[in-house]
């Protein structure tokens, strides 16, 4: 009997101990840290493209007038060879003012004027004076710019020591001087005022040197 009771007590005690043991708890949930925000970098501002001054459009190339078609081949050869004296002589012999103005636009006066003989140079200045006197020069055009540049450079190229043409030079320059002065006084606000004034000064100085 004692043994039975002891076993019963042992079993009871064992069962009671088992029931008193704490239940195993589930593993604790570890929170996942939120990703740290990516550093923001501002995009560098691209500099605005620099805008320069609007280029001035170039003057259209001079078109050979009909009056020069008959000598186009010879004229082309002279100009290709930089024989300005021969080229101008060919054109001046036609006494066509349109052809003379074409030559003034085609040839750079600073390079060509010193190459002309005094006879050809004075003939050119005389025909340019006629061109202005007849009112054919339109202010502010490529033609007027070329003509005035040639008058200024041509006057500077007149040789005061050449006694053979001194009388003719004085007469032609006197006429040009008067025409240029009339242009300055008769047309207020002339589009080519500075160029006319420069040409008048060059002619005046050439006259004083004779």
Q: What is the largest CA-CA distance in the chain?
A: 173
**pLDDT tens digits, 142-165:** 999 999 999 999 999 999 999 999
Residue range 71-93, pLDDT digits in tens: 999 999 999 999 999 999 999 99
The CA R_g of the chain, rounded to the nearest whole Å, is: 50
53-62, 89-98, 154-163, 167-176: least confident range:
53-62
Q: What is the mean pLDDT of the chain?
A: 81
Instruction: Provide the pLDDT for residue 55.
Output: 44
Q: Rounded CA gap, 152 and 124, in Å?
A: 12
Residue among 63, 78, 71 at smallest CA distance from 93: 71
pLDDT band at 169; cut points 50, 70, 90 = very high
Angle at CA of residue 86, ends 81 and 87, nearest 5°: 75
Q: Helix, strand or coil for residue 10? A: helix
């Amino acid at each position: 009997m004692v043994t039975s009771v002891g076993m019963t007590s042992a079993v009871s005690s064992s069962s009671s101990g088992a029931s008193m043991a704490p239940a195993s708890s589930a593993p604790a949930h570890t929170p996942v840290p939120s990703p740290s925000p990516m550093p923001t970098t501002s995009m560098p501002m691209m500099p605005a493209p620099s805008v320069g001054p609007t280029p001035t459009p170039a003057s259209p190339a001079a078109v050979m007038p009909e009056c020069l078609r008959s000598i186009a081949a010879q004229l082309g050869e002279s100009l290709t060879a930089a024989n300005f004296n021969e080229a101008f002589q060919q054109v001046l012999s036609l006494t066509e003012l349109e052809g003379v103005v074409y030559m003034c636009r085609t040839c750079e006066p600073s390079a060509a004027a010193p190459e002309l003989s005094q006879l050809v140079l004075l003939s050119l200045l005389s025909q340019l004076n006629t061109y202005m006197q007849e009112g054919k020069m339109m202010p502010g055009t490529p033609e007027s710019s070329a003509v005035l540049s040639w008058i200024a450079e041509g006057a500077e190229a007149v040789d005061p020591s050449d006694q053979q043409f001194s009388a003719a030079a004085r007469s032609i320059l006197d006429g040009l001087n008067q025409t240029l002065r009339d242009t300055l006084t008769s047309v207020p606000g002339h589009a080519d005022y500075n160029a006319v004034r420069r040409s008048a000064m060059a002619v005046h100085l050439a006259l004083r040197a004779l």
